[in-house]
Chain A
Amino acid sequence: NAGVMQNPRHLVRRRGQEARLRCSPMKGHSHVYWYRQLPEEGLKFMVYLQKENIIDESGMPKERFSAEFPKEGPSILRIQQVVRGDSAAYFCASSPADRGAGYTFGSGTRLTVV
């Protein structure tokens, strides 16, 4: 039973390019979450999705960032026109509907903007 799969593991983008981060949740999990972790800091919530729905995007920057979780395929976190400040580790997590269940995390994507 594969865990949460994130790819790529490392991503380098030049300023102004687009970054697309992918996340396949654990089998049987219908809830997906994206978090961002800056160096030496904790994980900051970005967005919570279920299939074809954004449930909570209160942590998403208003511009350049978007997320989706289509009916088929992985969840995508998209960052347009990346800037140096977007460099961070982006973690995806999934959970079942049970609120008491902990999240299962992917290994993260480390985005470096040069």
Chain B
Amino acid sequence: AQTVTQSQPEMSVQEAETVTLSCTYDTSESDYYLFWYKQPPSRQMILVIRQEAYKQQNATENRFSVNFQKAAKSFSLKISDSQLGDAAMYFCAYRSSRLTFGEGTQLTVNP
């Protein structure tokens, strides 16, 4: 079974600074997809960024980028120029047949 581990229950960052959220996963498959989702206090799950396992190039979406290390089964999320609106719970997720989530990292952004 696939597992996703987020080892940082909580993180904090100063506004305008950069923060990196960690994620590791365990799988025996070679073809899969990885995602980061954001869940603000409204509880709505919002897709932040996705990565195809067969692509070596790290995905980037504006201020959000990933560091995908396939051999190490690591998929970290970097948020640059952090904004107050980035404060949320962030979930790493792995998809083969279905999406499996990590336990989440609560990100606080300090003004």
Q: If A89-B43, A100-B33, A107-B43 touch, does A42 touch B52 (CB 8 Å cutoff)?
A: no
Residues of A within 8 A of B37 (CB): 102
User: Chain A nearest CB: distance from B66 CB in Å?
Assistant: 14
A69 within 8 A of B: no
Residues of B within 8 A of A52 (CB): none
Size category, B interface: 20 to 34
Q: Is the CB of A41 within 8 A of B43?
A: no
B95 within 8 A of A: yes
Question: In the complex, how many residues of chain A place their beta carbon closer than 8 angstroms to a beta carbon of chain B?
Answer: 21
Q: Is the CB of A45 within 8 A of B97?
A: no
User: B residues within 8 Å of A by Cβ?
Assistant: 33, 35, 37, 42-45, 47, 50, 52, 91, 95-104
Show 8 residue pairs from A and B whose CB-CB distance is below 8 angstroms, ordered by the A residue. A33-B99, A43-B91, A56-B97, A100-B50, A100-B52, A100-B95, A103-B45, A108-B44
